[in-house]
Amino acid sequence: MKQNIYDNAVFFENYKALRENPINYNELMEQPQMKSMLPDLKGKRVLDIGCGMGDLSMYCVENGASSVTAIDPSSNMLQEAQTRNAHSAIEYVQTSIEDAVFAKERYDIAVSSLVMHYVANYDKVIHSIHSALKDDGVLLFSSEHPIVTARKAGKTWIEDEEGKKLHFAVDDYQEEGRREAAWFVDAVVYYHRSFSTLCNGLLQNGFSLIDVNEPIPDDHAIAQLPRIAHELRRPSFIILKAKKTAHLY
């Protein structure tokens, strides 16, 4: 059974409070970089995978998208999306990407913010997105960085006696698969994949890689949230942009 942690009441309330404060890692780094990498949205049909509270869906419509199909498995998230980001051009659908069934070659752009590390079968999902995109359609997604997802147990930052961060501990990198972490609640499930697996999953499923980005904070972000400067020592996020260039049979 797929985990839907965002419908856990404790998790959701804490997550919502985190995102409602604009001074966070997503708003200061991940989202600005994602938006800068989007192709021209004017007149395009967009598929937003793991739309959450609908902020990125609304951004796409406000920047010219003709329609957005926004999917998410969480009823809590979709209720917030309908409240915060309702629009006649956005259709919110409750489903996971693993279970979704799309019309073939319907969308010009597929976008997904911080969802892929929750997906158990990455190849299957990329294949499904490929089928849903038109020829030359673009897939843009962010994920937790493989450096962050690799370690199976133990502290990730190694500190001295005074609590100063000495270095980030990377371990278990080539042992891909399921991981669990405590984040607001215990046993939040995610999946570690190497950088090569993320890229090859695209290349082997009919995409050509266009761009890879590891967001870093600018001086303005560091001034607002000083601890974000640790991103200069190890990245939290990776963003991949690819184009559908081959048909699969």
The token pair that represents 217 in the structure block:
């904070």
- Which amino acid, 234? R
**pLDDT per residue as tens, the chain (249 positions):** 466 778 888 888 888 888 888 899 999 999 999 999 999 999 999 999 999 999 999 999 999 999 999 999 999 999 999 999 999 999 999 999 999 999 999 999 999 999 999 999 999 999 999 999 999 999 999 999 999 999 998 889 999 999 999 999 999 999 999 999 887 887 889 999 999 999 999 999 999 999 999 999 999 999 999 999 999 999 999 999 999 997 876
Query: Whose CA is closest to 96, among 80, 74, 127?
Result: 74
d(CA 83, CA 78): 8
Report yes or no: 13 and 74 within 8 Å, Cβ to Cβ: no
pTM: 0.94
